[in-house]
Amino acid sequence: MMPTWKPRNTLRARTLRRQATPAERALWEHLARSQLGVRFSRQMPVGQYFADFLCRELKLVIECDGVSHDRDPASDAIRDCWMRANGYTVLRFTNAESLGNVEGVVSAIREEVERLRKTRAHP
């Protein structure tokens, strides 16, 4: 039996990449080109959601949260629950953190990458 193919919403992903916030752009400068030793992609479909940044290898999702997330935290909780149930780890940072302390954010991401690598290597 052939697996079913699910089309990805690449048009929506492309639009989200073009409309990236300043915080997302600042963080991407540190995640692009495998600078942390793993490959991240921007605005990737994950189930019915879009991850700001996704490392497929480690199933690590990075989110930059702006004002829209403050208005509906319940949606983020539901989304994070779905992600965890499907094997993803989610790290959330505010736009203010990504802009004002990008080194700290990158350091936290680096630590999680290392932790996930060890976990995956030694189950």
Q: Residue 38 belongs to a domain with what CATH number? A: 3.40.960.10
Residue 79: the pLDDT is 94
State the DSSP code for 66: -
In this structure, what token pair is assigned to residue 91?
């790290």
Q: Report d(CA 110, CA 15) in Å as an integer.
A: 28
- Residue 74 is assigned to a structural domain of this protein: yes
Only one residue has tokens 């319940």, namely 74
Residue 1: the pLDDT is 54
Of 6, 114, 120, 109, give the one whose Cα is nearest residue 52: 109
Q: Please give the residue range of the domain that contains residue 51.
A: 21-121
- Residue 71 is assigned to a structural domain of this protein: yes
Residue 10: the pLDDT is 65
Q: Report d(CA 88, CA 7) in Å as an integer.
A: 21
Sequence-separated (6 or more) residues with CB below 8 Å from residue 14: 43
Q: What pLDDT tens digit does each residue of the chain (123 aa) get?
A: 555 545 555 665 566 656 788 999 999 999 999 999 999 999 999 999 999 999 999 999 999 988 654 567 888 999 999 999 999 999 999 999 999 999 999 999 999 999 999 998 765
- Predicted TM-score of the model (pTM): 0.83
The number of domains in the chain is 1
- Residue 35 is assigned to a structural domain of this protein: yes
Residue 9: the pLDDT is 57
